[in-house]
Amino acid sequence: MSISFNSVDRTLNLQTRNTTYQMQLTESGYLRHLYYGRRIPGACQARLITRMDAGFSPNPHHLGFQRSFSLDLQPQEYSTANIGDFRVPALIAATADGCYGDELRYVSHESRPGKYALEGLPCAHGGEEDCDTLSIVLKDEATNLTVELLYAVYEAEDVITRAARIVNNSEQVINLERASSMTLDLPYGDWQLIHFHGRHAMERQMERVDIMHGIQSVGSLRGASSHHHNPFVILCDRAAGEEQGDCVGIMPVYSGNHRTDIEKDQMDSVRVVTGINPDLFRWTLNPGESFTAPEVILSFTHQGLGQLSRNYHHFIRERIIRSTWNHKTRPVLLNNWEATYFNFDSDKILEIARQAKDMGVELLVLDDGWFGQRCDDNRALGDWYVNEEKLKGGLGKLIEGVNALGLRFGLWMEPEMVSEDSDLYRAHPDWALTVPGRLPAMGRNQLVLDMGRQEVVDYLYDIISGLLSKYHIEYVKWDMNRNISDIYSRVLPGERQGEAFHRYILGVYKLLDKLTTAFPEVLWEGCAGGGGRYDAGMMCYFPQIWLSDDTDALERLTIQHGSTFGYPVSTMGAHVSICPNHQTGRTVPLGTRAVVAMSGTFGYELDPAHLSDEEKEQVKVQIQRFKTWYDVIQNGDYYRLTAPGADRFMAWQYVSADKGEALLNVVVTHTMANMRGVHLRMAGLDPNANYRMEALVTEGSETILDMVEMKPRDGEDSYSGAELMYAGITLPQMGGDYPSVQIHFVKN
């Protein structure tokens, strides 16, 4: 079993294939963190933690004249406030008479095969053969508040998940003002922080910064995980790169307001506290009630950022995504949004479908504008009945026409939103989140439904399940096109309004769980104005998420690069769009657009009528190429070979699990006069095997690569894995605007 307890030194040891996580129960019953890092034998690491008398760091009263044990200096497993530890707390709780502070002491622990479950929250899954669970109960004697710390150890995946359940066992009301998922104290190391900031249409821009003395925070108060600060963060040592260095990944499985605080204290120890954002949060626990904090996925590696990413990619594919589509080949789709926006009718959609089918597309997605009086984005959200002025004969007739062409049919919806100008709002204005007596801020002239209300969840389930039961809809794109402000729930009393944000996301999860369970055959794609809710929580319901509303291939290189640090390619909704691009006005060769979009779920977002006959033939070839390489792209190990801005090109690579094939992708982002060739080193191959070049595809280059130049040596037809990785490969000069190359290698 991967969990053990040493009764002599009172250590709890969690062991994965390559890592060790160790805690210790002190003589006084405190649970302190000793070690998380590269796997070591189960020996107690308490020797690493010094005891000292530091000024203005008080000691527990029961220790009397002993001044060498302060909670302010000891690494904690779950930190609290107002007990002499002045660093960031995971838990802030107040009794009815206003007293703060919980001195948590050990009560019991239990380990068992299998995975714990969380009430109302998505989390990783696993059976008794896949993982083990550790439950540790801590208690504050003064308030009778208990905290159950939950750990699941996935030995093969080098992953440990954590969560916390807080229970009020007292006879009085306790208010939670912060209820984070975990504390991770790292007493030693020269750590840097990697986080992923951005904005709408430019999500997950990787930034690496020094950790300063003080507190740095990454978070969102937008009611969603947000375009602006993804919940996933990494701590890495200063020397860490793609292939070397200690790295710790911290990924909340949560889609609402989140915050991760990183504090470097007086002794250079680093504390990480992550979970629900405590701002605008307050949760009332009546006697006997409990509160469950979201799960966090932890992973450590000493083999660099690339290996950390592959740990998360595998774990999300195998332990987070539950969809029946997870390991099925997903259809290549065409979405009509950038082709038509709101200006379409049945004839237009069917014509797009006919031409899409001729190019090899397999799924036609009807985007915004098919319902109510939806002629623009100012009205009708919430009126989920078919606009028969646009769709003559109704939605069923259109779907029959699309299916008759041999295409599947998909539909866009934005269920969590409502327009002021809508039948739904006129019937139920109290369902919208607005503050009484104040005109709300408007986003796209729409408001947000109170998903914390059971009648709202029930209404939406009835509407959506009715559509899916009545019509042959095989794909749903679920959008959310504004963030939440003016939050006030009319079903909560004033003293419980701090629960509204979290109850909102619990309602979303409840609805998604019910729908995806009832309609498992539907391919669900998440969206929130693109990547505004691109997180592990949503991936428990959506096997893929529209990565960004920016479809410019050059911009997508950076967005996809940042996203790969934590999330697999199979989750990334990516399309080829028309040029000049609608967001940037840039023109990129059609082939290069396809190379970039292939590093995702792959589809098209354009009107085929605007393509030349030659371009339509190119699309046919692109789709066939994607299908041929589907498995290595979607399920292979991913390697970042360059970083944005580091050179004149970006390169990335996939390698199959058995190292039998590899796909190299290169996009030249800046062509120059008298430019030298592109040189790079491949990764992840078998150094002792030989690889032949099975296919070489160039796109958008005025200088077509010469296969003769690309041959290894006279009389030989393959490279060794060692020379491709250690000596590298050089591509000849390529001119023109944004040329690209794909090379498929197969082991001899």
Residues with catalytic roles: 535, 615
For 18-33, the DSSP string reads: SEEEEEEE-TTS-EEE
Residue 276 near residue 283, CB atoms below 8 Å? no
Pairing of strands 145-154, 132-140: antiparallel
Phi and psi based region of residue 657 (left: phi greater than 0; alpha: psi -120 to 50; beta: remaining): alpha
- If one counts every other C-beta atom within 10 angstroms of the C-beta of residue 238, the result is 12
φ, ψ (nearest 5 deg) of residue 698 = -115, 145
Helix axes 394-404, 346-359, angle to 10 degrees: 20
| 3-state secondary structure (DSSP) of residue 521 | coil
Cβ burial of 359 (10 Å; 0-12, 13-18, 19+) is buried
Residue 721 near residue 690, CB atoms below 8 Å? yes
- If one counts every other C-beta atom within 10 angstroms of the C-beta of residue 340, the result is 17
CA atoms of 370 and 435, how far apart (whole Å): 31
Residue 395 near residue 386, CB atoms below 8 Å? yes
Q: Could you give the C-alpha distances from 633 to 267, 477, 538, 569, 718, in angstroms and in order? A: 45, 22, 22, 7, 22
CA atoms of 346 and 352, how far apart (whole Å): 10
Question: Which 8-state DSSP code applies to residue 378?
Answer: T
Helix axes 454-470, 500-518, angle to 10 degrees: 20
Pairing of strands 544-546, 572-573: parallel
Residue 222 near residue 259, CB atoms below 8 Å? no
Cβ burial of 18 (10 Å; 0-12, 13-18, 19+) is middle
What are the residues whose beta carbons fall under 8 Å from the beta carbon of 678, sequence distance 6 or more? 648, 649, 651, 666, 668, 730, 731, 734
CA atoms of 65 and 493, how far apart (whole Å): 48
| 3-state secondary structure (DSSP) of residue 165 | strand
State the Rg of the chain over Cα: 27
Pairing of strands 333-335, 603-605: parallel
Stated as kind and residue range, the H or E segment containing 347 is: helix 346-359
439 forms bridges with which residues in the sheet?
none
CA atoms of 742 and 592, how far apart (whole Å): 10
Among 668, 700, 559, 566, CA closest to 159: 566
CA atoms of 252 and 698, how far apart (whole Å): 40
Structure tokens at 304: 């660099």
CA–centroid distance for 108 within its chain: 34
CA atoms of 387 and 343, how far apart (whole Å): 13
Pairing of strands 649-655, 661-668: antiparallel
What are the residues whose beta carbons fall under 8 Å from the beta carbon of 425, sequence distance 6 or more? 382, 418, 419, 431, 432, 447
CA atoms of 317 and 310, how far apart (whole Å): 11
